[in-house]
Amino acid sequence: MSLIIQKYGGSSVASTDHIRRVAMKVASTKIRGNKIAVVVSAMGGQTDQLLALAAEITNNPPGREQDALVATGEQVCAALMAITLESLGHKAKSLLGLQLPLITDDVHTRARITEMQTGKIAQILDEDIIPVVAGFQGITADGSITTLGRGGSDTTAVALAASLKADCCEIYTDVEGVYTADPNICPKSRHIKKISYQEMLELAGLGANVLHSRAVELAQKYQVPLVVKSSFGGEKETWIVNEEEVMENSIIKGVTLEKNVSKISLIRVPDRPGIAHRILSPLAEAAINVDMIIQNASIDGYTDFTFTIPTTDLSKAKELISEVAREIDAEKMLAANNIVKVSAVGIGIKTNPGVASRMFHSLSAENINIEMISTSEYRISCVIEEKYGELAVRAVHKAFDLDNVKEETEI
Ligand code: ASP
Ligand code: MG
């Protein structure tokens, strides 16, 4: 008998009709002789609606209360799913993060799991009852409700699969897994059958909205077999596996466009030891992720310092950095959010020299100027002007021979 964790995202449980359809899928998995635990997101759009309510009151709700608010979305859905399963004649029990309990640190709105207790859920499974876990949420050691960051239900599911040593973690969403590029941007994109944890991690971090990064990280660490499927039918699926299991049939696996990118520049900063630390440490303290960093060569003891951050953190970052700018005597601070990041991802990058120049060439052939570049073993990213974002994705996709020439070929 296999133990399967099935996670259903917001679009799969967007209405009670959707929930009924999912419940039937869950039931049929169980009837086939498996043990099954379900993890649900909030009904599609719910989390945004709850956040909008808070925004009617203030732009800056306390993190603790924001978490208490949005966690209700998953609570509603887990209860409705358990009610539906019961109505279909299956025993089911909803479980909140605090009931499991799933313990996290106290970084509200983006908490990390510190401990997943499985005693209660294991007992429910033993009693042949289907546990329906509210994803995305946890509780701190001192009893405050937390959430794991947007899209965090995936992470709940993988953490549960890891702690219960499940045979498989299935993530159900509204697409049939992962594509070489967003099909809405790049009509010639192809479906990917197998991708390595590492490549998936890069894609997830770059705005490919299919899986939560932390979920992929945990799946790799605990070697959880992970598959992404559509809950709306469709045969295709994407397996996320170890690097050795992926056939290296292309250097680049995917091309992404990340829109949630802004940059801040400090102009004419006195170039002396400790400056980078002075600039970036307030951001680190505020848990703002700095991505690319460029410090120009210094001229006459002055330099320019530019870095990118998520646009969602821009106003907070501007506030922090304008204070630093005064303290360190920078001439001025500039901020821009009309930029995007285009990235090519693939395990082939580290073994194939010339990948970067091929990407740069494809952009220059379209007359697109590259403002910033960063590379890693698995990824090359370029910051460019926002208006060229989609064109750039198509150009890079083509340059790496990813375009689908025959109908429906997968990689
Ligand atoms: N409901 C949360 C969100 O919308 C968590 C999730 O869907 O995974 O981000
Ligand atoms: Mg999601």
Is residue 20 over pLDDT 90? yes
pLDDT band at 298 (very low <50, low <70, confident <90, very high): confident
The string over 386-404, giving b where at least 16 C-beta atoms fall within 10 Å of a residue's C-beta and e elsewhere, is eebbbbbbbbbbebbebbb
The ligand 1 atom at the shortest distance from the C-alpha of residue 153 is 8
Q: How far is the CA of 320 from the centre of ligand 1 (A)?
A: 29
Measured distance CA(381)–CA(383) in Å, rounded: 7
Residue 278: strand, helix, or coil: helix
Residue 209: strand, helix, or coil: coil
Q: Which ligand is nearest to the CA of 48?
A: 1
Tokens 């008998």, located at residue: 1
Question: Residue 208: what pLDDT?
Answer: 72
> Could you read off the pLDDT of 208-262 as tens digits, one per residue?
778 999 999 999 999 999 999 999 988 899 999 998 888 766 789 999 999 989 9
Q: Which of 196, 195, 193, 191 is nearest to 179 (CA)?
A: 191
The stretch 299-317 carries a mean pLDDT of 93
Given a contact cutoff of 8 angstroms between Cβ atoms, the answer to whether 38 and 26 are in contact is: yes
Question: What is the percent of the chain where pLDDT is above 70?
Answer: 99
Check if 324 has its Cβ closer than 6 Å to any atom of ligand 1: no
Could you give the C-alpha distances from 317 to 192, 304, 313, 321, 349, in angstroms and in order? 37, 17, 6, 6, 33
Question: Residue 317: what pLDDT?
Answer: 96
Q: Which residues contact 369 (CB under 8 A, 6 or more apart)?
A: 384, 385
- The residue with greater pLDDT, 230 or 206, is 230
Measured distance CA(262)–CA(173) in Å, rounded: 29
Mutation to probe ligand 1, out of 12, 38, 74, 210 (largest number of atoms < 8 A from CB): 74
pTM for this entry: 0.87
Is residue 390 over pLDDT 80? yes
The ligand 1 atom at the shortest distance from the C-alpha of residue 42 is 1
pLDDT band at 18 (very low <50, low <70, confident <90, very high): very high
Q: How far is the CA of 173 from the centre of ligand 2 (A)?
A: 7
Is residue 409 over pLDDT 90? no
Q: Which of 295, 357, 288, 347 is nearest to 318 (CA)?
A: 288
Question: Residue 141: what pLDDT?
Answer: 97
Question: Residue 209: what pLDDT?
Answer: 76
pLDDT band at 380 (very low <50, low <70, confident <90, very high): very high
Q: Which ligand is nearest to the CA of 228?
A: 2
pLDDT band at 149 (very low <50, low <70, confident <90, very high): very high
Given a contact cutoff of 8 angstroms between Cβ atoms, the answer to whether 22 and 81 are in contact is: yes
The stretch 259-272 carries a mean pLDDT of 94
Question: Residue 153: what pLDDT?
Answer: 98
Is residue 10 over pLDDT 80? yes
Measured distance CA(20)–CA(129) in Å, rounded: 18
Q: Average pLDDT of the chain?
A: 94
Q: Which of 119, 114, 113, 120 is nearest to 135 (CA)?
A: 113
Q: How far is the CA of 188 from the centre of ligand 2 (A)?
A: 25
Element (H, E) at 379: strand 379-385
Q: Which of 157, 303, 179, 174 is nearest to 225 (CA)?
A: 157
Measured in Å, how far apart are the chain's first and last C-alpha atoms?
32
Check if 97 has its Cβ closer than 6 Å to any atom of ligand 1: no
Residue 377: strand, helix, or coil: coil
Q: Which of 45, 35, 37, 36 is nearest to 13 (CA)?
A: 45
Side-chain half-sphere exposure of 366, counting CA atoms within 13 A: 22
The stretch 53-78 carries a mean pLDDT of 97
* 28 token code pair: 């049929």
Mutation to probe ligand 1, out of 150, 154, 173, 209 (largest number of atoms < 8 A from CB): 150
The pair phi, psi for residue 256, each rounded to 5°, is -125, 160
Q: Which of 70, 66, 146 is nearest to 102 (CA)?
A: 146
Residue 227: strand, helix, or coil: strand
Check if 41 has its Cβ closer than 6 Å to any atom of ligand 1: yes
> Could you read off the pLDDT of 92-114 as tens digits, one per residue?
999 999 999 999 999 999 999 99
Q: Which ligand is nearest to the CA of 67?
A: 1
Residue whose CA lies nearest to ligand 1 atom number 8: 151
The ligand 1 atom at the shortest distance from the C-alpha of residue 9 is 7
Given a contact cutoff of 8 angstroms between Cβ atoms, the answer to whether 346 and 378 are in contact is: yes
Measured distance CA(232)–CA(176) in Å, rounded: 9
pLDDT band at 411 (very low <50, low <70, confident <90, very high): confident
The pair phi, psi for residue 390, each rounded to 5°, is -70, -40
| Residue 299 DSSP class | B
Measured distance CA(37)–CA(39) in Å, rounded: 7
Is residue 57 over pLDDT 90? yes
Question: Residue 311: what pLDDT?
Answer: 94
Check if 47 has its Cβ closer than 6 Å to any atom of ligand 1: yes
Measured distance CA(383)–CA(263) in Å, rounded: 10
Task: Judge residue 277's burial from the number of C-beta atoms within 10 Å of its C-beta, 0-12 exposed, 13-18 middle, 19 or more buried.
Answer: exposed
pLDDT band at 407 (very low <50, low <70, confident <90, very high): low
Residue 270: strand, helix, or coil: strand
* 81 token code pair: 């799913």
Measured distance CA(259)–CA(270) in Å, rounded: 32
Question: Residue 352: what pLDDT?
Answer: 87
Check if 135 has its Cβ closer than 6 Å to any atom of ligand 1: yes
Question: Residue 210: what pLDDT?
Answer: 85
Given a contact cutoff of 8 angstroms between Cβ atoms, the answer to whether 370 and 340 are in contact is: no
Q: How far is the CA of 39 from the centre of ligand 1 (A)?
A: 11
Structural domains for the chain: 3-174 (3.40.1160.10), 262-336 (3.30.2130.10)
pLDDT band at 87 (very low <50, low <70, confident <90, very high): very high
Q: How far is the CA of 135 from the centre of ligand 1 (A)?
A: 8
Question: Residue 408: what pLDDT?
Answer: 62
